[in-house]
Amino acid sequence: MRNLQVDDLFKLQSVTNPTLSPDGKEAIFIKTHIDEEDNKYIANLYHIDLTTNETTQWTHGKHRVSSPKWSADGKQIAFLSNREEKNQLYILSARGGEAKKITTLDKGVSSFHWSPCGKKIWFDASVKEGKSFSYKEEKDDKKKPEPVRVTKMKYKMDGVGLLPQDSFKQIGVVDLETEDITQFTEGNFHYSLQAVSHDGSKLVIGVNRKENLDHEFRQPLYLVDVETKEETVIVDEEGYYGGARFSFDDNYIAFVGSDRSFQNATHGNLYVYDTRRGNTINITESIDAPVGDYSVADHQQGGGAPSVVWTKNNDLYFQLSTMGDIRLYFATLEGELYPATAENEHVYGYDVNAEGDFALVAISDPVNPGEIYQLAISTGEREALTSFNKDYLEEVKLVAPEAIVFKGPKDWDVHGWLMKPAGFKEGENYPLVVNIHGGPHAMYGNTFFHEMQLFAASGYGVLYINPRGSHGYSQEFVDAVRGDYGGGDYEDIMAAVDYALAENQWIDADRLGVTGGSYGGFMTNWIVGHTDRFKAAVTQRSICNWISFFGVSDIGYYFSEWQIAADMKDVETLWKHSPLKYAENVETPLLILHSEKDFRCPIEQAEQLYITLKSMGKETEFVRFPDADHNLSRTGTPNLRIERLNEMTNWFAKYL
């Protein structure tokens, strides 16, 4: 067997979105791979016959398919595809044939839900102010550039660019026979379609109708009568709520969300609204862990999981991020709660049959890129339904990380993982790379991570932990980083290094490297400004100056206050937490990687850091990635992802 290589990205298969047919006898899913020649991601729809376990590819071509959904009678599948650049809606007979394109909207379709009659599909999509869904913007190659007038603070977004000031997301419905589209909502507001009731008479929609949304961090949910358009408030509180799903009898609506008790560090919960009584209960109030998937990794493409799935008995299933795992959990309306899947893995997609007998689960772990399994709910027994990565795993030797727990400051347990280098031999010494996740309110988990495996395959030990600020351990733990960037979180990471050195004689204390992206990039910058223990560092999509970040980031004007507890009226605090302030202390050779179109942590952050270090005679280099945004490492253009990884391993090879 050989070691993993950087271009194994082109060999790995991403298997996501398992979706059961209404009768539970069939399923569909999406397989994504990277086409090296065309330098792009290709995602197609696949089908499984659950009586024979036969798998069949249903769509072909070099495009991407997403969001597959069965009609209520199980005779048709609808999905989105970018076959013609914008995501449009297609339907496909479950008995075969070509997919039929249903929409040709100017800005494409954002999301959709079947009407239970099977003759209509509800959707949401952006529409130019004063125009209808049928409006088509004329393409003019000779059109002169025009200035953009900005009057709001939320005017740009990473991965999107400048937000259109004159377009709004509306809800519509398309008749599948005539392909006529009727617009359901109106006004200069952004609507999101959440759910359609099983009797077809009600919708759940999300909308904030405040005129100025600059300081609005809430999305009220409404139950809307399709005929009268009468609205009933489900939730209208500070925070984000969504992912609504009707129970089979339409008596309940489940949804997920979090208030702003701890700003964006607040745990997500699962709520159930009683449509008859009008009251809401918090199903997961007793669990000190967030509902949803907060794991970070770099392999799964386009994967999406339902926020919640109902059974006909009005039981519920959902994901929970806990102790480094993403587990499928079961709940009843009476308050029972328990896990339905095992520890030490990442359930990144799932569906449950109506009777609650079995589930389809997409599962990954550190040495398994991910496949789809059929899980017997009562016994926990599972059977693999796909094996797309089987040949790869027989060819490549992966390194299984060791879970570690150590005491950080405040005597808190801090959790993480340590990987030995591939081909490890007792008695030899090896360099160690510390890899810090972004967020900061995310978490490393028990999932496959190509980047971690590449470092190990390149001869490095790899240490990655969940310092305070990480999800999955407690509300107190995830909140503890706010207002203390560079404080206790830095101490947690240094304690992890001390623990690893004390417990593992094979680690060479004189050959330590550190890297991280986003918040992990901030922390990398902070570390090299506060210690010279590391002999090499790579900072990615980082923050170095909170003062400028306030005005240039798409989230800066509120994120700074939420996380640093300061705004531009308190520049002293912003500067105190800025790694740039400590640039003179940097003795570690620092490679700076940044994307040109990163609007989350704009490239000026990297420019400031590079020029400042260079002017002081520090050892540093700066690599800029064109046409890439904040998500380069996960979903960026494939060749640039390869170049990024090569830059990192080459830098560590040079200095470690």
Residue 593 vs residues 560, 610, 622: alpha-carbon distances, Å: 22, 10, 6
Burial 97-109 (b: 16+ CB within 10 A, else e): eebeebbebbbbb
Catalytic residue among 190, 346, 594, 630: 630
Query: Which stretches within 181-275 are classed as H helix?
Result: none
Residue whose structure tokens are 């089987």: 390
**pLDDT at residue number 29:** 97
217-249 tens-digit pLDDT: 999 999 999 999 999 999 999 999 999 999 999
What H or E segment, with its residue span, contains residue 55? strand 54-57
What distance in Å separates the CA atoms of residue 622 and residue 593, rounded to the nearest whole number?
6
The SS3 call for residue 373 is strand
Average pLDDT over all residues of the chain? 96
**pLDDT at residue number 603:** 98
What distance in Å separates the CA atoms of residue 361 and residue 91, rounded to the nearest whole number?
24
Q: Is the pLDDT of residue 141 over 80?
A: no
576-589 tens-digit pLDDT: 999 999 999 999 99
Provide the residue type at 329 as one letter: Y
What H or E segment, with its residue span, contains residue 557? helix 556-564
Known active-site residue 450: no
What distance in Å separates the CA atoms of residue 491 and residue 482, rounded to the nearest whole number?
15
Share of the chain above pLDDT 70, in %: 100
pLDDT-derived band at 285, boundaries 50, 70, 90:
very high
Eight-state DSSP code of residue 443: B
**pLDDT at residue number 304:** 83
Q: Phi and psi dihedrals of 113, rounded to 5? A: -145, 140
Tokens of 282: 């918090």
Query: Which stretches within 509-600 are classed as H helix?
Result: 519-528, 546-552, 556-564, 571-576
pLDDT-derived band at 532, boundaries 50, 70, 90:
very high
What distance in Å separates the CA atoms of residue 579 and residue 599, rounded to the nearest whole number?
20
Share of the chain above pLDDT 90, in %: 93
Cross-strand partners of 463: 418, 434
Known active-site residue 415: no
Is residue 95 packed enough to be buried (19+ CB in 10 Å), middle (13-18) or exposed (0-12)? exposed
The SS3 call for residue 239 is strand
Residue whose structure tokens are 């065309």: 38
435-457 tens-digit pLDDT: 999 999 999 999 999 999 999 99
Residue 17 vs residues 3, 45, 361: alpha-carbon distances, Å: 29, 10, 9
Closest CA relative to residue 433, chosen from 395, 396, 391, 465: 465
Catalytic residue among 258, 518, 560, 578: 518
Q: Which residues, in sequence order, are CB contacts of 234 under 8 Å at separation 6+? A: 204, 220, 221, 222, 223, 244, 253, 255, 273, 280
First-to-final CA distance of the chain: 26
The SS3 call for residue 347 is strand
**pLDDT at residue number 316:** 98
Closest CA relative to residue 447, chosen from 295, 263, 337: 295
383-419 tens-digit pLDDT: 999 999 999 999 999 999 999 999 988 889 999 999 9
Q: What domains sit in the chain, N to C, each tagged with a CATH number? A: 399-655 (3.40.50.1820)
Closest CA relative to residue 374, chosen from 13, 24, 22, 23: 24
What H or E segment, with its residue span, contains residue 54? strand 54-57
